[in-house]
Amino acid sequence: MSARMQVGLSDDRRTATLTFLEGSGLEGSIPLSLDQMTQLISSLGAVRAAMVDHIPPPPIEGVPVVPVFRTNWAVQPEALTEGSLIAFQHPAYGPVGLALVPADARRVVQALTRHQGMVHSSRDAASKPS
């Protein structure tokens, strides 16, 4: 299926324009502010979530992921599961969070601890085997 619309960013990076392409059945374009773009992304995400609600999440192992390197994040208790919530500001999607039940939180702690043991960029990295 080919795209029937495209979104472009203004030169000053303050607005975007959603333009309907040939074959969409519509003509014209819609200017969007940052708030409007955020609301559109949120609405699309909510609809997508409803569309996949009855489908088990696919495996994530081996799937390419685009990491976020510059963000604000927080870890806090999550009351419903008595686990933890990892929340961060995603540059493309806004605030997102992952709720972890206690067993999954332990797995994350174990994995991060292992990863810290693999880090070569510390001050004493020269004395560590590579």
User: What pLDDT score was predicted for residue 54?
Assistant: 97
Same domain, residue pair 82 and 113: yes
Span of 1-5, 85-89, 107-111 with lowest mean pLDDT: 1-5
Task: Tell me the pLDDT band of 121, cut-offs 50, 70 and 90.
Answer: confident
Q: Please check the confidence at residue 35 and state whether its pLDDT lies above 60.
A: yes
Residue span of the structural domain in which 85 resides: 72-129
Same domain, residue pair 7 and 35: yes
Same domain, residue pair 125 and 76: yes
Is 107 inside any structural domain? Answer: yes
Is 66 inside any structural domain? Answer: no
Same domain, residue pair 6 and 42: yes
Pull the structure tokens for residue 94. Answer: 């806004």
Pull the structure tokens for residue 38. Answer: 């955020």
Same domain, residue pair 10 and 47: yes
Same domain, residue pair 78 and 42: no
- Residue 56 DSSP label: P
| Predicted confidence (pLDDT) per residue in 38-52, tens digit | 999 999 999 999 999
Is 60 inside any structural domain? Answer: no
Same domain, residue pair 79 and 40: no
Same domain, residue pair 46 and 83: no
Contact 98, 84 (CB under 8 A): no
Pull the structure tokens for residue 122. Answer: 């510390």
As beta bridge partners, residue 29 has: 19
Domain count, the chain: 2
Whole-angstrom distance, CA of residue 63 vs CA of residue 29:
34
